[in-house]
Structure 1
Amino acid sequence: MTVTNIDGQLTLDFSVPANCPPPNPNLADKLQKLAAAMDTAISSKLSPSISHQNITARRSRIAASMREDGRRLQLIQSWLMGLAVRHRDGTCPTQLSKISNRSHLDSFASIFHWQKEGAKSLEYLYTGFDRGDEIAQRLGSIGIHSANDALAAVELLESLGNPADRQIDPIGERVEALRRKAIYQQVPDFYPTPGEIISRMLQLANVQPQHPCLDPEGGAGDICVALRDLGVENIDCFELNAGLAEALTLLGFVPLGRDFLTATPRPIYDRILMNPPFGEDAYIQHVRHAYDWLAPGGELVAVLPIEHPSRIKKRRQFSEWLDSLEAIRYPNPSKAFTKGDLPRQRLRYRYCAIETHLIHLCR
């Protein structure tokens, strides 16, 4: 790599130099293990327990700071993995060949942060080398003896992998924030559908890319995204909550309307996948209404609470209606919706102790 200073700007050549050190599988293994060992710390920082408590300004600040620490750790982890690959195949640039532990990369992560903040923050780097501060001593031990060398090394570290993988997605961040807000505020009947249940729904409905599909209660978009990942292009939805409707729009699913029950049925959908509200038996009206949106030969799969023999007339009539359509019931795994009680998933799911099953019916 060559570095030329022209009017204060660094010009870098990232081609692999011919005098790279030979492959070093032992160091590659060490760096790879260091990277893998960071998973738990990264997860706890990106999903801090304090963020699952009642929201306050102080807790929000602490949670935001912890998530920033998590992103810093992710950056270091990506560098460790990139270096491991290069040491394994013998293409590690000489300037980075002496990096053998996380503390070296901690220093480079600070420099990376200072670069993002601008020239004023980079003064710490230049004055640090002028005074022989700790960062200069630490980097000097691996052959980095000036601020310009350090900046060039950071750029080279970035070139090892795909920087796009670490770029913050502002849309994704906003969608997740809206999702968390809906969970924290306990939006009525908002219980996101777990991925394993969505997979079963797609399988039962035999969804194909050419099928026009509808999710009458779009929520945070879990079902819609799964349909899109399957290759479906014609996906419509409704969503009553304003924040969740915004999340759907950001994801590219503009709701047809807010209140599904007030919309006039159009029997144009080959497949309808839905997780309707359970409160006050609202699912009964939602499923009946959704059935009217099915095209001839269409199929509907819905998440419903398990029905028990009931004296409540509308529940009994609904069960009889399902039977008349030869609906098939498939029990979900026990406590399928309780996974929101696990630390890593609290940001994406909400605890619900109601036992559920899937119903599959055809028009």
Structure 2
Amino acid sequence: MQLSLFKIIPEHTTPGEIYTFNLNTPNPKQAAKLQELATSMQQSIDNKLNPAINKQRATKRRKTIAQSIIAEGVELQTIQSWLLAIAQMWFVGNTPEVLRGISQKSQAEALYKISQTARTLEEVEEILSNEYYQDRIKSLKRASICTAGEIMSAIAEIQKVVKPDEVDTTQQELNRLELKIIGMKSGDFFPSPPFVCDRLIQLAEINENSRILEPSAGSGCIAESILKKYPQANLEVVEINPTLRSILELKGFNLVGRDFLGYTAENSYSHIIMNPPFSQLIEHIYHAWKLIHSGGILIAIVPESVFFNKKYKDFKEWLENWNLYDESLPKDAFLQSNNPTNVATRIIKIYKP
């Protein structure tokens, strides 16, 4: 009698009992193949999660396009995580039978796409007869996943291992919030363009001992420029707007306060670098001055009107008491902002004795 490889009757089997031989042993070769497929996706994922269009001045159209590209990146990231999960199953030796035929990215992608559309057996059966899905269905058949039940089983086995919250959706959420703030007029929100941020940092005289604060940090333009040039900088930020605070948190900044005018610190700062709300310009700069220790530097963007409008007479005199340095920014400087304005501006720099 010829015995099946899958049904072997050992000596201890009782009458009527069928013993199933388990071929589900570790397979490092198959694991490595799936890991290689997953790794090959990384460059495309990185490009989509950080689309080039995001580096251009933000408009709603550009941000909408970026949001769509980032969503594609998150989807690829999930498919990659599914391939890695199956690879790990092969490495350990606990691959469910329904997943053993998967050897291509297209098969993991087909399962993921179906999982996003169908939740019940009936819905998967409808997909099997839908012309739009036939290429994916053929791909799954090559993996011996043919029926609606097998498709649901395969998806369920992967989802036992890969939880939705394990996929990083930070960039997708960040882009959604940044789309929300384009055109926001409340709170004097006019983000500093990159070249303005760079000039602020050039003037700042930051060193390894600097303790830096950015009040009213907005969406983090100045803070990002600081950390780009000084990655280890001891930087803290304050922001009152809830949406902008969420953006700063997603970007990983150290938020230490909400309303800057009510903010106090146990230790003073060596540097405060700021683009304050012009509607409360004087109050913000005076308060910043209180938070800087002797020998510290305050750098701020101010409207050009500080230097000729009579309402700023006392404030201008106060600035000049501290050996003020100032330089005019190009007239169209903030037309390049993500929230543009044609207000003429200057950078001021003062040392605290």
Give the TM-score normalised by the residue count of structure 1. Answer: 0.57
Aligned to 1:287: 285
Q: Which residue of 1 aligns with 2:32?
A: 15
- Residue 353 (structure 2) pairs with residue 356 (structure 1): no
2:272 corresponds to which residue? 272
1:272 Cα deviation after fit: 0.6
Contact 1:201 1:273 in 2 (8 A): yes
SS at match of 2:240: coil
Aligned AA (1:211): S
- In structure 1, what is the Cα distance between the partners aligned to 2:311 and 2:204? 26
Change in Cα spacing, 1:313 to 1:333, as seen in structure 2 (3 Å) is closer
CA RMSD, Structure 1 to Structure 2 (Å): 5.4
Which of residues 312, 317, 325 in structure 1 aligns to 2:314? 317
Aligned to 2:188: 189
Deviations 1:231-259 (A, max 9, x none): 3453333323344345445534233341x
Contact conserved, 2:213 with 2:273, CA < 8 A, in 1?
yes
In structure 1, the residue matched to 2:202 is: 203
1:359 counterpart SS class = strand
Supply the distance in 2 between the matched residues of 1:121 and 1:319 (Cα, whole angstroms): 73
Aligned partner letter, 1:299 = I
Counterpart CA distance in 2 for 1:199 and 1:42 is: 20
Shift of 1:275: 0.5
Distance of 1:243 and 1:74 partners within structure 2: 22
Check 1:173–1:67 CA distance in 2 against 1; reply closer, same or farther (3 A cut): closer
**Aligned residues between the structures:** 286
Compared CA separation, residues 315 and 278, structure 1 to 2 (3 A): same
* Letter of the structure 2 residue corresponding to residue 273 of structure 1: I
Distance change >3 Å, CA 321–CA 125, structure 1 → 2: farther
Instruction: Please give the per-residue CA displacement for 1:199-224, whole angstroms capped at 9, x wherever unaligned.
Output: 22222112234311111212233333
Deviation at 1:289, TM superposition (A): 2.5
- With over 3 angstroms needed to count, the CA separation of the structure-2 counterparts of 1:309 and 1:137, relative to structure 1, is closer
Cα distance in structure 1, aligned partners of 2:347 and 2:167:
38
2:256 alignment counterpart: 255
Q: Spell out the pairing of 1:73-222 with structure 2 (5 A cutoff).
A: 109=109, 111-115=111-115, 120=120, 124=124, 128=128, 133=131, 135-136=133-134, 144=142, 146-147=144-145, 167-170=167-170, 172-222=171-221
User: Alpha-carbon deviation of 1:109?
Assistant: 4.7
Listed as ranges, the gaps of 5+ residues in structure 1 are 1-5, 21-33, 53-62, 80-94, 100-104, 156-165, 341-348
CA offset digits 1:187-206 (Å, max 9, x no partner) = 22011222332222222112
- Contact 1:215-1:224 within 8 A present in 2 as well: yes
| CA distance 1:269–1:134, change in 2 (3 Å) | closer
The aligned amino acid for 1:198 is C
Q: Report % sequence identity.
A: 21
Q: 1:243 to 1:125 in 2, by over 3 A?
A: same
2:172 and 2:130 mapped to 1: Cα distance? Answer: 39
Residue type matched to 1:274 in 2? M
Q: Given the two structures, how large is their TM-score scaled by the length of structure 2?
A: 0.58
- After superposition, the Cα gap between the structure-2 partners of 1:331 and 1:114, relative to the gap in structure 1 and judged at 3 Å, is farther
Q: Match for residue 87 of structure 1?
A: none
Q: Does 1:234 align with 2:234?
A: yes
